[in-house]
Structure 1
Amino acid sequence: MPLSRAAFWVLLPVMLLAPWQCLPAATLNLAPLLFFESGEQGYQLSLAGPLFDLTDEYIAIRPLFYHDDSQTDILYPFGHSTRERMRFIPIFSYSHEEDRENAHLLVFFYGRHESERYGGVFPLYGRLDHRFGHDRIRFVLWPLYSQTTTDGIENYSVLWPVFRYSPGRELQIFPLWGYEKTVNYRHDYVLWPFFHFRRGAQYINAFIPLFYYSRGDTYWNFSILWPLFTFSRDTSPELTSANFPWPLLRKATGAYEELKLFPFYWTKTVGESYRMKIVFWPLYKREGSYNPASGIREERTTILLLSKKSTLTGEQEVDSQQITAWPLWHRHTLGERRLWYFPWLIPIHDEGFRRNYLPLLTLASGESSPGSSEVNVLWRTFRYARSGPHRSFALSFLFSYKDGPGYSRIGFLSDLLHWQWSAPQERP
């Protein structure tokens, strides 16, 4: 049996049964099969590369399970829980706040809004309060019958969305004919989405897609073969725009300036708050935005959609920067901390994805900050670390090297063979 395999099976039971978390300082490197390290800042145990991690902060069995003090993932993104919310799509979900509570299990649901409680069995029967933009929803054999209440206005539906009725406000036999009336306008349609007529604060005559005309107090809009050819004029704010045809050619001037010769050239400027330029889309795109209230400015450059550079700055210094050369490499700088990954196959920046999947897809990574840095290749098979004046290098169990003020150490076969010597002291 090879020496490395023998050492692994001999030491693994000892590590799993002994109180190794309490060791003041220890390292066992059989990467990528097993890696253990403890020190003043905590401990970490890794098995089978990125598949199993146990530290003083979290435990991960990727991609099945992750848990730390604030959250738990099970087959993320399907299962996720925090102190306020939990879910396992599509089986159940639960959330609670001070004045509301919502839960569902398969077809059963329950909720509370302030002191009012509701529930039901979808689609047989139920009631919901303050959900989906309505004050109250009732249904029986949905979509056979449903009733909504919004700001005191009742709306009834039979075979939703075919028959809808609200006393004095709405009547629809979708898509054949219908009207909707409010204090400010009345909107009628025939054979939706083709014929539309609106009168009131906004005036519309439309036979889509052949003709569309609308006007209001400060604007008017005219289109032939909507939305291909349109012309718009607005006086508040001042803006004139034309598409001929959309989405290939567009010109706008006034509140913002825009010129579009898609896909060859496209530029748009909205004062100091936003600017954008595209050349030979999707080859090159550059955007910049500025929020005067917060003083935050963001610059983004994109090459072929997925390779990009973005920089977020405040009034005084660079807050963060991200550079992606998809699918090979990604670097993220946050303040004085810098991280990089190789490869970068799936350009997702979701934290749940980073916890559960990114280590499985990363062959090499690095992290650096003032006074320390670390590089890992093939899940610590090759590892370099620096902390202050101390440096270490390891090639799994085969070879290791450490040095610091006054000493150097070299080891082979998990340090079964090792030599350490002291640096010569300077004479006074």
Structure 2
Amino acid sequence: MPLWFVPVRVALGALALASCAALDSDLHLAPLYTRVATADGGTLLEIAGGLYRQHRRDEGDFLEWRTLAPLYGIERQRDGSFEAEHPFPLGRTRVQVDGTGFSYLVPLYASWFRPEPDGTSRRLLLTLPGFLLQKTGDGTHGGWFPFYGRLVDLLTFDDLRFALWPFYVRADRAGRVSHHFLWPFFGWTSGGGESSWHLFPLFGRARWEGRYDRTYVLWPFFHWQRNNLGGGGEEPEKAWMLFPFFGKKERGTYAAWTGLWPFFGFARDPRSGFWALDFPFFLVRIQRGPEATTARTRFWPFYSHLRTEQLETHSYLWPLLHLRHEDDALIERDSATLVPFWQSSDARSKASGETSSWRKLWPLLRSERQDDWRAGALLELDPFWRNDLVPRHATGFFRIWEWEQEPAFRRERAFLGLYRRERGRGEDRRSLSGLWGRRSYADGGKSVRETSLLFGLVRWRVTAEHGFDMLRPAFPGPGWPRPAQAASAAASRTYF
């Protein structure tokens, strides 16, 4: 190698290094790679047109959210709580600030956990092929379904055991112990005021002192029940049925009749003015009563109307058109749905007076507003009601245009991230991947405009005071430094 070539190589290397953008400056090479300082004070990294995205705050120290669609996603809060998908939609984990949460991955496992007042934690794990593991402050329990298992304080059970399920099951609830052999065919319960047994489906009787006395013969054909037997101001209830021909229920002045179930039903209470008519059940129902009770008219699927003290709904040609009005102590809200094309919601908080609205014209566009904050998207393929998960993992990559605006900032993004805009923190930054970039800001009250072309190889600045000035290259461009002005308290609520 000629001696003269060595210093030439060194000079060319130094020139190339000097032409590269700084490590923390904006790089916009969408759809391959993008790293930009966001207008709300964070740093966004986007790869492969948005398949991988992450957003950090506090100069990169705090990871706010990350998505590798659809394999993994996480959204974290500063209090330590978070939600994650792994992968979407089969797996999900949610942990609240106190440590309570759940995790599942269909069909492999499901887990629930929560802290206890004594400082210990309670965990339950169900996993293939039927393994159960439970950890509490009192010890570890579990089993292998259907061979053997024991769990404590689960749902309504104080102690639940099984062996060769369904051959044997033992359940303890508040002192009432039940034994089942070949569940559900034979079993009995005793203790805690209850005395019950059954030989399903031939005969069964369940008696709980002060609560009920229920009997069936040749289930489901013959039933007799007496409920609410504890007094204390409750009126006892009597019910019987010869299924499916006729049945009757009585409680005080209330009486209900069923004939040829589920085709005909009628109920009335002269004391309250309530009455209801079914013909047949679910498809047609008319219910009326005093103003404080529910009024319902349903001719499914053609029309239905429901009115309560806090809710009124209308449905036409279910499931196509739904109208809903809510009015409670906290919020007043109106919503409408025309499946699958239109969804809307307008709400007002009665405590703060804050208003919000949300619109989706599927699959063309979406817009939403909450006081001064606004956002929208063009080509919104997600057909479901308002959510973030489906766009983050499946449909958001196809948006032609999306934007977000607060009084303190505005953000814009075009298809695959080819165009971006970040206006805030005293600057307005716009760029077209690799080809063009523009940065506008004020310096000492004087306007400054910087331009980047051809992957940051050609850059210049124009100021009101000094005019035109060339800038050093910053490959691959546009190479803008992080804004000097601190971010406002407003944070982005979107995922682009």
For residue 200 of structure 2, the aligned residue among 155, 170, 174 is 174
Q: Which runs of 5+ in 1 are unaligned?
A: 1-13
Contact 2:382 2:390 in 1 (8 A): no
Determine whether 1:90 maps to 2:97.
no
Structural mapping, 1:17-416, within 5 Å: 20=23, 23=24, 26-38=25-37, 41-56=41-56, 57=63, 58-67=65-74, 69=76, 70-81=82-93, 82=95, 84-85=100-101, 86-99=103-116, 100-106=122-128, 107-167=130-190, 169-183=195-209, 184-200=211-227, 201-234=236-269, 238-254=273-289, 255-271=293-309, 273-292=310-329, 295-304=330-339, 307-315=342-350, 316-341=352-377, 342-347=379-384, 349-350=386-387, 352-353=389-390, 355-360=392-397, 362-387=399-424, 390-405=427-442, 406-416=447-457
The residue identity in structure 2 corresponding to 1:110 is L
Q: TM-score, normalised by structure 1?
A: 0.83
Count the aligned residue pairs: 403
C-alpha change, 1:329 and 1:190, in structure 2 (3 Å) is: farther
Structure with higher RCO (Cα < 8 A, 6+ apart): 2
Q: Distance in 1 between matches of 2:244 and 2:163?
A: 37
Q: Distance in 1 between matches of 2:248 and 2:354?
A: 48
C-alpha change, 1:72 and 1:240, in structure 2 (3 Å) is: closer
Secondary structure class of the residue paired with 1:169: strand
C-alpha change, 1:52 and 1:383, in structure 2 (3 Å) is: same
User: For residues 323-360 of structure 1, what are the alpha-carbon distances to aligned partners after superposition, in whole Å with 9 as ceiling and x for unaligned?
Assistant: 22223333333343222233132415455545544534
Q: Cα distance, 1:280 vs. partner?
A: 4.3
Q: Cα distance, 1:114 vs. partner?
A: 4.1
Q: Cα distance, 1:397 vs. partner?
A: 1.6
C-alpha change, 1:134 and 1:37, in structure 2 (3 Å) is: same
| Structure number with larger C-alpha Rg | 2
C-alpha change, 1:314 and 1:236, in structure 2 (3 Å) is: farther
Q: Identify the residue that residue 231 of structure 2 maps to in structure 1.
A: none
Secondary structure class of the residue paired with 2:115: coil
Q: Cα distance, 1:217 vs. partner?
A: 2.1
Contact 2:38 2:44 in 1 (8 A): no
User: For residues 130-181 of structure 1, what are the alpha-carbon distances to aligned partners after superposition, in whole Å with 9 as ceiling and x for unaligned?
Assistant: 1132111011011111010111111111121222222463222323332222
Q: TM-score, normalised by structure 2?
A: 0.72
RMSD of the TM alignment (CA)?
3.1
C-alpha change, 1:328 and 1:212, in structure 2 (3 Å) is: farther
